[in-house]
Amino acid sequence: MVEPQVADPEQPEPEMADPTSIIDPKLMHAIVADAPAPGKDFSFRSGNSYEGEVAGSTTMHGQGMYTWSSTGVTYTGGFVSNTITGNGTYAWPDGSAYEGEVYAGLRHGVGIFTGPGGYPRYEGQWQAGQRHGKGKLEYKQGGDVYDGDWEDDMRHGQGTLTHASGNKYVGGWSGDVKNGNGVFDWAERRERYSGEWKDGVPHGQGEHIWLRLQRDAAPFQPRECYTGAWCEGRREGQGTFFFANGSRYVGEWVDNQKHGDGLLSFEDGSVYQGPFVNDRMSDGRLRPHT
C-alpha cells in the first residue's frame, strides 16, 4: 500500500536585478563650476547637470531634472534645498524606471518600479530605498505574482504568491521565504497542504490532502490525507494517513515512510498493530475482521 508523496512547492522565478542604487543620493552642498543666475542650468565639476528651479544662485529647489553623466541615470521631480525630495521619476538607460515618492534621494513612501521592458514590476510602499510595507511584485508578464507584506526589501509578514501555473501559497513569510502558517494549493495536482512552514518547506504540524477524480457512480469524492508532524518537507514523527479506499494508518513516520510503532486498519476491517520498517509491516499482530 503506497501513499502519495508531497509535491515540492514551486519556487518563484528569479527576480531580475533591480538597478536602483542611486549615485549621490544626497545632493547637499553641491559644488558648481560657476554660480549661475537663477533659473539657468547648473554645470557640475563631476560632469553631472541640473536644469530647473533654484533658490538663490546655487540651490536646487522646486522642480527640476538632474543627470548623472557617468551612468546616464536621470531624476525628474522635486528638490528641496539641494536634496531630491518630494515626488519624481528616476530613469535608467536600460529602460528601468521608478515613479513615486522620494526622500533624501531614496525611494521612500509609495511608488512604482519597473525593470527593462516593464518587468519586474513592483507597486507599493518603500522605506529608505527598499520595499517595505505593503506591495505587489510581478516577476514577469504572465509570470509569478507576490502580493503582501515586505520588510527591508524581502517578503516578510503575510502574503500571497500566485504562480503562473495556477499554484498558490497564502500565509506567512520571513526572510523572503515561506515561514509560519500557510496554505499551498497545487491546481493541476488537486492537492493542498495546510499547516506550518520553515525555510520554504512544510515543517511542524500540518495536513496534506490529495483529491482524486470522482467517479460518476460514486456519491463522494475519494481522497488521501496525511495529518501530523513534518520535518524539512517530509512526514516525520507522529501522524495519521487516510487512504482513499478507507484504510488508515496511525503511528510513527521517518523520511516519508511508515517506520516505528503503528496501527494499520484495512478496508475489510482487519487490523495490523506493531512495528513498521521502511514502510512495511514487521513482526506485528494482524487481527482479522470479526
Instruction: Look at residue 123 and tell me if it is in a domain.
Output: no
Question: Is 66 part of a structural domain of the chain?
Answer: yes
Write down the pLDDT at residue 23.
42
Determine the structural domain holding residue 61 and report its residue range: 13-107
Cβ contact 148:155 at 8 Å: yes
Task: Tell me whether residue 39 is in a domain.
Answer: yes
Domain count across the chain: 1
pLDDT value at position 17?
A: 44
Euclidean distance between CA atoms 244 and 237, whole angstroms: 22
- Determine phi and psi for 87, rounding to 5 degrees: -120, 140
Residue 25 lies in a domain: yes
- pTM assigned to the model: 0.86
- What are the per-10-residue average pLDDT scores of the chain (290 residues)? 67 52 43 49 80 86 91 93 93 93 93 94 94 96 95 97 96 97 93 96 96 62 88 97 93 97 94 94 78
Read off the pLDDT of residues 201-219 as tens digits, 9 standing for 90 and up.
999 999 999 987 666 555 5
User: What pLDDT, in 10s, does the model give residues 223-252?
Assistant: 899 999 999 999 999 999 999 888 999 999
For the beta carbon of residue 254, count every other beta carbon within 10 angstroms.
Answer: 17
Assess if residue 145 is contained within a domain: no
The number of angstroms, rounded, from the C-alpha of 31 to the middle of its chain's C-alpha atoms is 43
